[in-house]
Amino acid sequence: MVLSFFRGGDRGLDHVVTRSVAMVTDARHSFDLACTALMSGADPASIADDVRETDLRINANEQRLRGELAVHITVHGPNDIGEVIGLILLLKKIERVGDHAKNILDLAESGVSFAAEPDIDELLEERRVVSGFFTEASEILAEHEGAPVSFRERVDAMVSQIQSRIDGYMTSKQPAHQVVPRAVYHRYLKRIVANLNSAVLAATEPVRVADNSD
């Protein structure tokens, strides 16, 4: 079930979705920068201000749009309550993605670096795929269409892949200083993918969304 304003219903809510697309773009920017610091050996200080300023912009937009949605309900009554709830959840999920991108930066700032790891190419490819999900999510929201089955399947596959990595870290015999940062990073990565998926579902299939990602 696509939100009714996607189908040409309440034009007064269109701008919320338009601005949510910009928030996803900002979140991808933060994610890409944070991962660059973690995986390239670059000095995290060179991108820290950019990531944090972008996160503050995402948070400010989320709060502003939530306020506008509250006003909308006050003015128009409960007729749009389902759409408004879906949009509030959409905004919340995008804001959480931005938070987890900042968490990845925090890892890099604490001294963690995967640049010299033997599987760095695999980690970079994983990052590339996840970064692509941001673009796809933006396009789905901008085009006012339901999420393609292929998108959901690939997102689910990535979540499973990341969880398998985390499970492997739990039983690894490698030293904690090697395993723990990887487990923390992949935990953030899993949350990013799950929240992107939830954001898309909140806009395109709000009845099916369970608020179980964090």
Supply the CATH number for residue 101's domain. 1.20.58.220
| Alpha carbons 167 and 174: distance in angstroms, whole number | 14
Is residue 112 assigned to a domain? yes
Is residue 134 assigned to a domain? yes
| Domain count across the chain | 1
Residue 149 CA: distances (Å) to CA of 155, 197, 199: 10, 12, 15
Q: Is pLDDT of 84 > 90?
A: no
| Alpha carbons 158 and 162: distance in angstroms, whole number | 6
Structure tokens at 79: 């007729």
Cβ proximity of 35 and 47 under 8 Å: no
Q: Is 14 exposed, middle or buried (0-12, 13-18, 19+ CB in 10 A)?
A: middle
Q: What single-letter DSSP state applies at residue 57?
A: H
78 is in which domain, residue-wise? 4-208
Q: Give me the DSSP letters along 109-176.
A: HTT---TT-TTHHHHHHHHHHHHHHHHHHHHHHHHT-PPPHHHHHHHHHHHHHHHHHHHHHHT--S-H
Amino acid at 54: T
What is this structure's pTM? Answer: 0.88
**What are the pLDDT digits (tens) for 20-42?**
999 999 999 999 999 999 999 88
Is residue 214 assigned to a domain? no
Is residue 157 assigned to a domain? yes
Is residue 186 assigned to a domain? yes
Q: Is pLDDT of 9 > 50?
A: no
**What are the pLDDT digits (tens) for 153-178?**
999 999 999 999 999 999 999 999 89
